[in-house]
Amino acid sequence: MHVVSKPPAATGDSPSSPALSFVGVDKTFADGTAALSDISFEVRDGEFVTVVGPSGCGKSTLLKIASKLIPMTSGEVHVRTDNLGYVFQDSTLLPWRTVQANVELFLELHDIDKAERHALAAEAIELVGLQGFERHHPRRLSGGMKMRVSLARNRSVPSTRSPASASTTS
């Protein structure tokens, strides 16, 4: 696994702590598979980070640990905001929901009122170029369009929501 990062754009802001950091993270599954070993890096506000590597090297495992979907074996993960999002390798759309409803999902989970939820989702749908497809279900979309719906869903939650810090250690 290799982590490639692009420094944040110069804005004059320099937060004292990274938005996300991994310190000596290890993950060994119950069957003995060592998925991660001593992973350490950090991501700052505005930074673009890509985790690359061959199948099975632990990229998805790392993201699942950051999102608290699975526990790590050892190490520390610090998340400064709970507005952390990533797009899965598969689009992970709910097949019974339309494009609009899929994009609104996280907004619903954040208890955003219906009018604001609709406006934020519409903005995200336009940003990914899917206006006109709001009432389509995933089965009617191409693979690339499904990925854009996933991106819009992650984009639709404003970063100013829930700015509380979170930190996880095991």
Contact 58, 3 (CB under 8 A): no
Measured CA distances, 80 to 11, 30, 74, 85, 116 (Å): 19, 29, 19, 13, 25
DSSP letter assigned to residue 96: T
pLDDT score for 90: 76
Predicted structure pTM score: 0.57
51 backbone dihedrals φ, ψ, rounded to 5°: -105, 120
* pLDDT (tens digit per residue) in 59-106: 889 988 988 889 999 999 998 875 666 666 777 899 999 999 999 998
CATH of domain 2-80: 3.40.50.300
* pLDDT (tens digit per residue) in 27-67: 999 999 999 999 999 988 777 788 888 888 998 899 889 88
Q: Where in the chain is the domain with CATH 3.40.50.300?
A: 2-80
**Burial label, 46 (beta-carbon count in 10 A; 0-12, 13-18, 19+):** middle
Cross-strand bridge partners of residue 34: 28
